[in-house]
């Protein structure tokens, strides 16, 4: 049997706010990510998607439960795990050129191999010839592609993405989705994507998990049985895509309504 | 423990370290913390208060005020009129790069050894941070605001006093605060070099007459003076700039 | 930091575009005005000196000053070198300690609180008041000058480093961790570069402060350098020579800050472009 590459078990995260009160973000979240699987997490805003991702990456210690990466408990960010953040403008190092930013991801390799890897990664995301530019000289979409190249250059077994395309315009977004899809299908890594865009989750994923409002649990799992390879127009215009979209959206909205029913407000 | 309390613990640690080090070293040039504090107390309560401290305070205040008025006035002109900025740029750049203490000998030649010399030296140094900050603040005023002023027919003196001055005031105050500490520092050098009274004179006189504890005491008094000036200035600024609160620089988390 | 005046300001590009924008304002005209301003200043100086508004023994003519400058070239050169020596030594020490301690303090919540009040007390204290005490402890000499210079220049560098390190966005630190950096590597490759724009501003302040302290010590203690040169000229009644020394001091200060801002613009291009702090 194949072991999951990332396994989140009964994860519970609480944050202490400034006034001392404890705020429970996730109550009980479990999920398994199999090798080369593409899973998305959607949920109402404020459902702790980002917090969940940070804990899964080892950036924030959970208050309960466990995260296993290839079978070993996660305490710090494990080797073989990469993240792409939403705020590419803060995540790329402004003091390094694009090429050097990507090279940081492969800095343990010998020079020749490293240079080889960097130019490969840049070519993959369509940034060939931009090695010597600085991040702040590039458009938002290009910056995010550079961040993607940096995350990929170390050949990770998992890529975590936190709303990676939320800060770019719609056309760039479609293009970036296809870049990720192409990268993923050519390599062997698994993807865990957090997004608030249901269409994006369905278009990209094998499975979509719906998170409840805070304190969150996994409300539902929807299997996406759309055939691959997918493409923006063909896949999105299938009847099955519309059905899945409706199903997931209904569950997300139910989660939002549920929160209203409990607290009297959505946060 | 709160941040403020920890801050005072830091000061205590430093004072204790000074005390212990002084006792261990037992050097005549390095008196204990307690002795230095006692000397400072002696200065503030003795005749030196009238003969040295008050004159220094007066010179600093006068020099600072003249620098402020000149700096704000000229700074607004330089910031508002591009031609003025271009004509004066090189000269201003040169003058503000000049290490001002070099001008003390000149001031001595022109004014002699007295308070006027100290005030003149202070102005030659303290005017620059005010002028530069005012000019930058004026040049960076939102064009919309200037257009609005234009639409309402604010021109000439009214434009400067009612629009530019308040709009540039946050930057002006930042410059004034720097000018205040510059005034204090230059006052000391001028008095050490060519004073016949004042706290700087007191410190250097004590050193030359081997009243070592006395010169440490003088430095402590001066530090307190700087702290008082700074605190007063911040209180004044907060009052004057209260309109600004809520529009910029607020904390989102309260 | 940016504005109409400010050859030292970081974003010379922005200042430049401000003044060169538009056809009615070609670069030649700006050049003409800048040079013209200097000529005007010299004329005013001449006028003041010739008409005797200010005592002629206190204000020699520009020509007399120029002659004195040429006559004393070697003395002036030695003075400038002496000043630069103490200045550089002090600034170097201040930079090393200021950045190192600033990084450590900025990264630690406890150390940060411990030093908060101390910093607020030290900031308004004029280090120049310590000249007499420094003479007592270290005697007259390069060591004393450099020591005092480093003490004075330490504070702006330390304060800016501390704030710069404290303001670094968490996300950029998390990115470093994500890329597998250990503690030291994180400081070397992320914390310091991210704080570098702030550190550079601190060093900029320290550069002029250090020069002021250096010449002050030289004036008070007669420890060589330009300060002593000016003092000796004044005491000998050679006013024109004294002015030559002052002019050289101004040129030195100007060259140092100009050179520094060129270096910063070239080596820290992200200072004005890439925002890495949350403030």
The beta-carbon neighbor of C171 closest among A57, A81, A85 is A85
Q: Which CATH superfamily is domain A6-247 in?
A: P-loop containing nucleotide triphosphate hydrolases (3.40.50.300)
User: Is C147 in the same domain as C46?
Assistant: no
| CATH number, domain with residue C123 | 1.10.3720.10
Token digits of residue A65: 């439960």
Confidence of residue B245 (pLDDT cuts 50, 70, 90): low
C40 in a structural domain: yes
C277 in a structural domain: no
- Do residue B101 and residue C125 have CB atoms under 8 angstroms apart? no
Kindly list the domain boundaries of chain A, sorted by start residue. Answer: 6-247
C51 in a structural domain: yes
C53 touches chain B (CB under 8 A): no
- Do residue A134 and residue C273 have CB atoms under 8 angstroms apart? yes
C168 in a structural domain: yes
Per-residue pLDDT of chain A (267 residues; tens, 9 = 90+): 688 999 999 999 888 776 778 888 888 899 999 999 999 999 888 788 888 998 999 888 888 899 999 989 998 888 889 999 888 878 889 888 999 999 988 888 899 999 999 999 999 898 999 999 999 889 888 999 999 999 999 889 999 999 998 888 888 899 999 999 999 999 889 999 999 899 999 999 999 999 988 888 898 999 999 999 899 999 999 999 999 999 999 988 888 776 654 443 433
Angle between helices B165-194 and B115-139 (to 10 degrees): 150
Give the pLDDT of residue B244.
Answer: 61
C244 touches chain B (CB under 8 A): no
Best of C13, C173, C179, C186 to disrupt the A interface by mutation (most A CBs within 10 Å)? Answer: C179
C75 in a structural domain: yes
User: Is C185 in the same domain as C107?
Assistant: yes
Residue C98 confidence (pLDDT) above 90 = yes
- Return d(Cα C133, Cα A145) in angstroms, integer: 59
**Within 10 A of A252 (CB to CB), how many other CB atoms are there?**
24
Residues 6+ apart with CB under 8 A from C10: C1, C2, C197, C200, C201, C261, C264, C265, C268, C271, C272
- Do residue C175 and residue A135 have CB atoms under 8 angstroms apart? no
Domain extent at residue C119: 62-271
Residue-wise pLDDT tens digits, B124-179: 999 999 999 999 999 988 888 888 887 887 778 888 888 889 889 889 999 999 89
Residues of chain B neighbouring C214 (CB-CB closer than 8 A): 99
Chain A nearest CA to C77, separation (Å)? 38
User: Is C71 in the same domain as C202?
Assistant: yes
The beta-carbon neighbor of B219 closest among C118, C123, C129 is C129
Number of domains in chain C: 2
- Do residue C178 and residue A79 have CB atoms under 8 angstroms apart? no
User: Is C170 in the same domain as C91?
Assistant: yes
- Full DSSP string of C73-124: HHHHHHHHHHHHHHHHHHHHHHHHHHHHHHHHHHH-HHHHHHHHHHHHHHTT
- Do residue C4 and residue B136 have CB atoms under 8 angstroms apart? yes
> In which residue are the tokens 């240079």 written?
A115
User: Is C119 in the same domain as C233?
Assistant: yes
Last residue of a domain, one of C59, C85, C106: C59
User: Is C78 in the same domain as C54?
Assistant: no
User: Is C18 in the same domain as C144?
Assistant: no
Residue-wise pLDDT tens digits, A251-260: 888 887 766 5
Residue-wise pLDDT tens digits, B9-26: 888 888 888 888 888 887
Burial annotation A217-236 (CB, 10 A radius, 16+ → b, else e) = bbbbebebebeeebeeeebb
Instruction: Indicate whether this model's pTM tops 0.90.
Output: no
Give the pLDDT of residue C13.
Answer: 36
Side-chain-side CA neighbours of C157 within 13 Å: the count stands at 26
Last residue of a domain, one of C30, C59, C88: C59
Mean pLDDT of chain B: 86
C114 touches chain B (CB under 8 A): yes
User: Is C128 in the same domain as C100?
Assistant: yes
Residues 6+ apart with CB under 8 A from C114: B6, B7, B9, B10, B13
User: Is C224 in the same domain as C174?
Assistant: yes
Q: In which region does residue B141 sit, left (phi positive, over 0), alpha (psi from -120 to 50) or beta (all else)? A: beta
Best of B99, B211, B232 to disrupt the C interface by mutation (most C CBs within 10 Å)? Answer: B99
Confidence of residue B249 (pLDDT cuts 50, 70, 90): very low
User: Is C119 in the same domain as C253?
Assistant: yes
Last residue of a domain, one of C18, C34, C59: C59
């Amino acid at each position: 049997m194949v072991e999951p590459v990332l396994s989140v078990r009964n994860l519970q995260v609480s944050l202490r706010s400034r006034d001392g009160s404890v705020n429970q973000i996730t109550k009980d979240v479990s999920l398994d990510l199999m090798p080369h699987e593409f899973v998305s997490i959607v949920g109402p805003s404020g459902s702790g998607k980002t917090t969940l991702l940070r804990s899964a990456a080892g950036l924030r210690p959970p208050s309960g439960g466990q995260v296993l990466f290839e079978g070993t408990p996660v305490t710090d960010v494990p080797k073989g795990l990469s993240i792409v953040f939403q705020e590419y403008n803060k995540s790329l190092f402004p003091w390094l050129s694009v090429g050097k930013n990507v090279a940081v991801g492969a800095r343990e390799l010998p020079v020749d191999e490293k240079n080889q890897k960097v130019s490969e990664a840049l070519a993959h995301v369509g940034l060939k010839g931009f090695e010597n530019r600085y991040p702040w000289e590039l458009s938002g979409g290009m910056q995010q592609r550079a961040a993607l190249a940096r995350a990929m250059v170390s050949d990770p077994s998992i890529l975590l993405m936190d709303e990676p395309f939320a800060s770019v315009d719609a056309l760039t977004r479609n293009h970036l989705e296809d870049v990720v899809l192409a990268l993923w299908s050519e390599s062997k890594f698994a993807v865990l994507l957090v997004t608030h865009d249901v269409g994006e989750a369905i278009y990209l994923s094998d499975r979509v998990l719906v998170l409840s409002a805070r304190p969150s649990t996994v409300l539902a799992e929807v299997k996406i049985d759309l055939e691959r390879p997918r493409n923006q127009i063909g896949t999105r215009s299938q009847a099955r895509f519309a059905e899945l979209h409706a199903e997931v959206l209904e569950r997300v909205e139910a989660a939002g309504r549920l929160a209203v029913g409990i607290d009297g407000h959505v946060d | 423990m709160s941040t403020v309390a920890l801050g005072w613990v830091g000061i205590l640690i430093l004072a204790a370290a000074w005390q212990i080090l002084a006792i261990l070293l037992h050097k005549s040039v390095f008196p204990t913390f307690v002795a230095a504090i006692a000397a400072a107390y002696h200065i503030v309560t003795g005749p030196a208060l009238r003969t040295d401290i008050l004159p220094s305070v007066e010179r600093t205040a006068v020099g600072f005020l003249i620098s402020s008025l000149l700096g704000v006035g000229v700074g607004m002109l330089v910031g508002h009129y591009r031609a003025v900025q271009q004509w004066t740029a090189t000269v201003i750049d040169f003058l503000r790069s000049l290490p001002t203490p070099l001008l003390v000998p000149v001031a001595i030649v022109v004014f002699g050894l007295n308070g006027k010399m100290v005030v003149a030296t202070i102005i030659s140094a303290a005017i620059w941070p005010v002028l530069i900050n005012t000019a930058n603040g004026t040049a960076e005023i939102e064009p919309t605001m200037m257009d609005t002023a234009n639409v309402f027919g604010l021109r000439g003196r009214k434009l400067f006093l009612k629009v530019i001055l308040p709009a540039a005031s946050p930057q002006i105050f930042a410059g004034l605060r720097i000018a205040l500490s510059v005034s204090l520092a230059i006052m000391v050098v001028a008095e050490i070099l060519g004073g016949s009274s004042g706290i700087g004179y007191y410190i250097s006189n004590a050193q030359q007459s081997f009243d070592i504890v006395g010169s440490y005491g003088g430095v402590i008094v001066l530090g307190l003076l700087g702290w008082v000036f700074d605190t007063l200035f911040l209180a004044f600024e907060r009052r004057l700039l209260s309109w600004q609160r809520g529009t910029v620089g607020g904390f989102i988390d309260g | 930091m940016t504005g109409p005046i400010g050859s030292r300001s970081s974003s010379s590009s922005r200042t430049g575009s401000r003044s060169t924008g538009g056809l009615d304002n070609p670069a030649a005209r700006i050049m003409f005005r800048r040079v013209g301003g200097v000529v005007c200043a010299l004329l005013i100086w001449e006028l003041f000196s010739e008409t005797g508004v200010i005592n002629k023994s206190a204000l020699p003519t520009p020509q007399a000053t120029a002659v004195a400058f040429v006559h004393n070239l070697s003395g002036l050169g030695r003075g400038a070198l002496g000043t630069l020596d103490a200045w550089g030594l002090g600034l170097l020490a201040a930079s090393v300690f200021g950045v190192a301690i600033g990084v450590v303090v900025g990264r630690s919540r406890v150390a940060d609180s411990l030093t908060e009040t101390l910093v607020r007390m030290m900031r308004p204290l004029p280090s120049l008041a310590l000249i007499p005490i420094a003479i007592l402890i270290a005697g007259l000499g390069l060591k004393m000058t450099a020591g005092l210079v480093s003490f004075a220049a330490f504070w702006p560098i330390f304060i800016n480093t501390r704030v710069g390190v404290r303001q670094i966005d968490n996300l950029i630190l998390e990115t470093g961790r994500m890329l597998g950096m250990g503690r030291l590597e994180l400081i070397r490759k992320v914390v310091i570069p991210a704080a570098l724009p702030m550190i550079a501003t601190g060093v900029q302040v320290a550069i002029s402060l250090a020069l002021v302290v250096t010449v002050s010590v030289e004036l008070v203690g007669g420890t060589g350098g330009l300060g002593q040169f000016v003092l000796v000229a004044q005491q000998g009644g050679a006013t024109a020579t004294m002015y030559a020394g002052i002019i050289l001091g101004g040129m030195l200060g100007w060259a140092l800050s100009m050179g520094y801002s060129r270096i910063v613009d070239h080596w820290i291009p992200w200072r004005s472009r890439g925002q890495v702090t949350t403030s």
